[in-house]
Structure 1
Amino acid sequence: MTQPAEARLRDHPDFVLFWIGRVASALAFQMLGVAAGWMIYDWTGSAVALGLVGLCQFLPMLSLSLLVGHVADSFDRRRIVVICLAVATATLAMLAAGLAAGVLGLAGLYGAVTLIGATRAFEHPTLSALLPRLVPGTVLPKALAVSSSAIQTATIIGPALGGLAYVLGPIAPIAGAAACYAAATLALLAIRRRVPPERRGPLTLTTLLAGLTFIRRQKIVLGSISLDLFAVLLGGVTALLPMFARDVLQVGAEGMGLLRAAPAVGATLMSLLLLRLPLRRWVGPSMFAAVAVFGLATVVFALSQNFLLSLFALFITGAADNVSVVIRSSLVQLSTPDEMRGRVSAVNSLFIGTSNQLGEFESGMVAALIGPVGAGLVGGLGTLVVVAAWMRLFPELRRVDEMPRPTAGARPR
């Protein structure tokens, strides 16, 4: 049976360009992550220094998130993303030039990572708010799943490419990341649909806090994004992979690239499965189960001293996390009116950034005290505790059976 034209995402050229841009941007960020992490640990041998990478990315997001939401709801979202990607391209080009000239030190690398964090503070929530205006609301859940798979695909390829390119020296993955950001800039520039804001109101404390106020009143949305926040904040081990690769598993930079890619392989395969068999029932219980599996797999990874078992455990964390991501993203986007999407997406991104980047800082600090194995074990067990607590704190989320219907304004204009 032929699908309706509306259901074929490839028939929406602006979405295809959006997908290309998101893949290229995520690919660049992952290549940078491998190169920066390995350089810093190679230069310092310090878990604390590794953790500071996450802190440098998190602080701009924390300080800018509320402003980002207002900007995304007040100006052309496509133009905002293009500016962010162009700045990221220039930053990495200068970083590569500094490495080539031999004038870049640890402070310069942290500075570049901080600036990339600032661009992502604007880019990520603005992209999330832009997507619902590029496709009909009836296929938005499918578009969200495909968009998620785009990020995961890049997260598979990016670390592997970054690790392999690092064999040629740190300049190679940095230059490759700059080229990917440039490609993303061109893809977003080519989007034809112009989406002016619903209205451009004044910047007030009320407008800045509107996203927080909306989420606080939507218990299902609050429960889903806070569950993801605390689970990944505690259970994420990404920042510790250089330590596991070199000191525990002894597999070098190439092995670290594979370790970073393993969760994305699991996430991508899960994305494809969800496209074929979308979640129609038991949405809330499925999210809790997925996060619990994420925690258990993290415990297995922390205790493993076998490279293949470690890869498999990370594969499972990625598959489980993708289920949570798709459910959370769908709940947020389908429950939010378009004129609020920028501010709600900014708060959502702040929660995600807290779990990912601040989680990397937390992992580095704990690993400095009790080692990477202890940090991973504590994080995985902490995730299971969070799941049990959130099932009691947010019974509304536990009882969600079906996805909500798209809100008004979800269709492109």
Structure 2
Amino acid sequence: MFASLRVRNYRLFFSGQVVSNIGTWMQRIAQDWLVFELSGNNPIALGIAVALQFTPTVLLSLWAGVLADRVDKRKLCILIQSGIGVQALVLGLLNVTGLVALWQVYLLCFVLGIFSALDVPARQSFVAEMVGRKQIPNAVALNSSVFNMARIVGPAIAGFAITWVGTGWMFLANAASTLAVITGLALMDPDKLFRGPVVERAKGQLREGLTYVRGRADLMTVMVLVFFVSTFGITFFTSLAIVAGNVFGTEADGYGLLSTLLAVGTFTGSLMAARRMTKGGPRVRLLLISAFALGAVEFAAAFMPSYLAFGIALIPLGFATITFLNTANSLVQTAVSPEMRGRVMGIYVLVLIGGNPVGGPMVGWMADTFGGRSPFYIGGVVSALAAVACAAVLARRGGLAKGYRLAGLRVLSRKAA
């Protein structure tokens, strides 16, 4: 279950992530609540903040993937984490001094989005360099476990701390937490990294990555499914604050508790994934089942009559969500050539997060027009239908009957063509 932790470089990275991810989730809760406060509980304002944070992903993630293939990923990660720390520090100082305004939060959301767009392809493709190809699924699952452990601890701390000391100190705490990641990266032994082939700067490398993915029917199917589920189904970062404040009338601690209950499910799911990935590789069938389950549970959660019942429904929803995301990530990373990993992960990040500039305002508009529960039942239906449609495509190609892993599905899809 913890096989990849035997690698010293990965242990250093993992330890830094434990601290940093808690700070990240504290900032996430504080940022949403700060926007909510400054805008007078306006769900559309929250959607705008989400859109601004994720718009750079649409603009930069493909180029970020090319950059990750060209340069030293460890040094690139150190530079990016330093920028994230400075962004959190500036927002925190503006907040605690009482100078913060909504436009400043919007601007800093966009700045954070730029660093995040560069960070995800670099960090995700760097995992393979730390642990080697065989340990990728286990390391991806462990990354998710620490991320989702932080989703339990971070919102729980932030939800109550905001009511005591305000949102500003959450941003300052996150700024300090980035030092843990930077320290871990700095202490690594570069000679023990499993580096892929050096990709020299050349024209057409972005087009080469797009052509590579377009020529892989298996990868294209996963990318399409991830886009629809993440854009319409996994909108909890926006919709939970709306449900907490506008449907059930709670304060920041109520929002934090809902985020924590969702994280209980995702943390449990990520631990199960780590155990499962130790025994065998990721499976396409699990990807489809988890996507459908995510949609079904999200739809059911929308009609829960009380705050408690809604919160409890978030636990299986979190479990299905992280199972889907872990499986998709592992399938993509284990199916690509090492020299293409950065570019393919850039494309994956684009389809995973790139829909948020549309999804964020869309969720705010739906909540404002159809009620605070609407993002859940609409997102649930879209996710379930996307899973059924992709299952039908794969079944036609023979991928469900014979090929469970993407590598096998690739061969089958060529034969079908």
TM-score, structure 2 length as denominator?
A: 0.89
Deviation at 1:174, TM superposition (A): 1.1
Q: Distance in 1 between matches of 2:108 and 2:94?
A: 11
Change (3 A) 1:403 1:393: closer
SS at match of 1:251: coil
Per-residue deviation, 1:243? 1.8
Instruction: Tell me the C-alpha RMSD between the 2 structures.
Output: 2.2
1:104 alignment partner, SS class: coil
Q: Aligned runs of 1:286-325 on 2, under 5 Å?
A: 286-325=286-325
Alignment check: 8 A CA contact 2:30 2:170 kept: yes
Preserved CA contact (<8 Å) 1:82 1:188: yes
2:73 alignment partner AA = R
Shift of 1:280: 4.4
Matches within 5 A, 1:5-404: 8-44=3-39, 45-167=41-163, 168-193=165-190, 198-204=197-203, 206-235=204-233, 236-278=235-277, 280=280, 283-356=283-356, 358-395=358-395, 396=397, 398-399=400-401, 400-402=403-405, 404=407
Show CA shifts across 1:152-194 (max 9, x none): 1122222222212211111121111111122222222222225
Measured after TM superposition, the shift of residue 341 of structure 1 is: 0.9
Unaligned runs of 5+ in 1: 406-413
In the TM superposition, residue 22 of structure 1 has moved relative to its aligned partner by: 3.1
Aligned mates of 1:14, 1:135 — CA distance in 2 = 8
Residue identity over aligned pairs, in percent, reads 24
| Secondary structure of 2:188's aligned partner | coil
Contact 1:134 1:193 in 2 (8 A): no
Q: CA deviation at 1:131?
A: 0.8
Superposition TM-score, scaled by structure 1 size: 0.90
Deviates more, 1:259-268 or 1:354-363: 354-363
Identify if the C-alpha distance between structure 1 residues 361 and 193 changes in structure 2 by more than 3 Å, giving closer, same or farther.
farther
1:208 positional shift: 1.4
Q: Distance in 2 between the 1:153 and 1:371 partners?
A: 31
**Which residue in the other structure is 1:410 paired with?**
none
What's the offset of the Cα at 1:404? Answer: 4.1
CA deviations on 1:330-373 (whole Å, 9 max, x unpaired) are: 21111111111111111111111124564333211222221211
> Does the 8 A contact of 2:36 with 2:45 survive in 1?
yes
Q: Distance in 1 between matches of 2:355 and 2:259?
A: 17
Matched-pair contact (CA < 8 Å) for 2:296–2:380: yes
Aligned residues: 399
Contact 1:231/1:355 (8 A) holds in 2:
no
Cα distance in 1, alignment partners of residues 406 and 206 from structure 2: 28
